[in-house]
Amino acid sequence: MMSTTAEYALRIMIALAEAIDRDSGVLTAIDVARETRVPADYAVKVLQSLGRAKLVRGRRGRGGGFRILCDPKRTSLLQIVDAIDPLPRIRVCPLDRMEHKTHLCPLHSEMDHIMEIMEQRLGAMTLQDVIDGAPGGVLCKEEQLVKVTVGARK
């Protein structure tokens, strides 16, 4: 399945894409960590990886932070995942069984098919699609959360 690092990268890229219209398009690593609920140290590592992939740019010092470099309307979720930690596909039998040398068993064939579908879905959706599909923004700030009490009313 998708790694935690890849999911964190998606959260971070969405936060940076949402920041384009506010905050001068720049978020500090601390802002990113807070908005995405990614541990701060981990967020920095993911931001560095996204920088190496030329998806974001960081600037140190006063007024510094991270800015998205890619166009959210043209950048698929799969491009981000592939840049950070591509989805694992099953090409050979993980059990190394002789009878599965020429084709995968039904279990591993189905698992690989699921990954193929995931790749297709991620490839068909852009960062902007995610943002546009979430009323009020994808990533809710703490103060925007509404407390809901579940229980029987009398």
Sketch out the chain's domains with CATH numbers.
4-144 (1.10.10.10)
38: closest CA among 20, 3, 16, 12? 12
Predicted local distance difference test score (pLDDT) of residue 97: 78
Check pLDDT > 80 for residue 98. no
Q: How many CB atoms lie within 10 A of CB 83?
A: 19
Tokens representing 136 are: 């009020």
**3 state SS of 56:** strand
pTM over 0.75: yes
Mean pLDDT of 106-113: 89
* Choice between 92 and 119, residue whose per-residue pLDDT is larger: 119
Check pLDDT > 60 for residue 117. yes
Predicted local distance difference test score (pLDDT) of residue 63: 79
Check pLDDT > 50 for residue 146. no
First-last CA distance in the chain? 45
Predicted local distance difference test score (pLDDT) of residue 136: 57
Tokens representing 94 are: 């993980």
Mean pLDDT of 100-115: 86
% of the chain residues with pLDDT over 70: 86
Check pLDDT > 80 for residue 89. yes
pLDDT band at 143 (very low <50, low <70, confident <90, very high): very low
Predicted local distance difference test score (pLDDT) of residue 148: 41
